[in-house]
Every structure is written in C-alpha cells, then in structure tokens.
Amino acid sequence: MRKGVLELCILSIISEEEAYTSDIIGKLKEADLIVVEGTLYPLLTRLKKSGLLQYTWRESTEGPPRKYYQLTDQGQDFLQGLLETWNQLVSAVHQSTKNISNNE
C-alpha cells in the first residue's frame, strides 16, 4: 500500500512542475514522507519504463548534468486514475471509521 501511495505522491509532485530527484525528496520530506534516494531512483526508473514519466538532461553549475522528470500524457491519465482511487479509499475508510471518531 505504501508503494502505491508513494507513486501517487511522486506523480503529483512531478505534475506540478518538472522536478529533479532531490526536489522530489525535499517535497516528500516537507510532507513528512521520508524517502531515501535508494528507494526513489528504482521507482522513477520503473515509472519511466512504464511510459508514465520522461526526463530531460540539464547542465548543472554544481556538478554533472541532472535528470529533470516530467509526466507524459499517459502519466497524467494514470495520475488521475490514482487520485480517483485514492479519494474512493479515503471515503470508504472515513465511512467505516466514523463511529470511532464520533465516540471520542
């Protein structure tokens, strides 16, 4: 389940603007989702191989060129499906736990 949520978060971050790996990690940390590069790189590679992401190389003033990731059209469609599924899940969990919340 965590992997699916992580995909949703990563695709959402990249959908806002193209992003470099450390930018993605920074935004995840801001949201209290701690992810290390060793987790993120394989996930980005898998999403790219699935046709959901693409990247461009850019020169950096601080070292070697960097990969900046963008969503493909297929990635945008996939993200919309994930968001719909997430919203359904949140609603179902809320419905099934509302008695607990109301009793507190």
Q: Give a yes or no: residue 75 inside a domain.
A: yes
* Domain coverage including residue 50: 2-85
Q: Give a yes or no: residue 69 inside a domain.
A: yes
Q: Pick from 28, 51, 55, 57: which is nearest to 40 by CA?
A: 28
Q: Give a yes or no: residue 56 inside a domain.
A: yes
The per-residue pLDDT for 99 is 83
Question: 10 Å Cβ neighbour count for 82?
Answer: 17
Q: Give a yes or no: residue 68 inside a domain.
A: yes
Q: Give a yes or no: residue 46 inside a domain.
A: yes
Q: Give a yes or no: residue 101 inside a domain.
A: no
Q: Quote the pTM value.
A: 0.86
The per-residue pLDDT for 101 is 62
CATH code for the domain in which residue 45 is found: 1.10.10.10
**pLDDT tens string for the chain (104 positions)?**
677 899 999 999 999 999 999 999 999 999 998 888 888 999 999 999 999 999 999 998 888 999 999 999 999 999 999 999 999 999 999 999 988 866 65
Q: Give a yes or no: residue 98 inside a domain.
A: no
Contacts of residue 74, defined as CB under 8 A and 6 or more positions apart, other chains included, come to 51, 52
Q: Are 10 and 44 in contact (CB under 8 A)?
A: yes
Count of the separate structural domains present in the chain: 1
What 3-state DSSP class applies to 71?
A: strand
Q: Give a yes or no: residue 93 inside a domain.
A: no
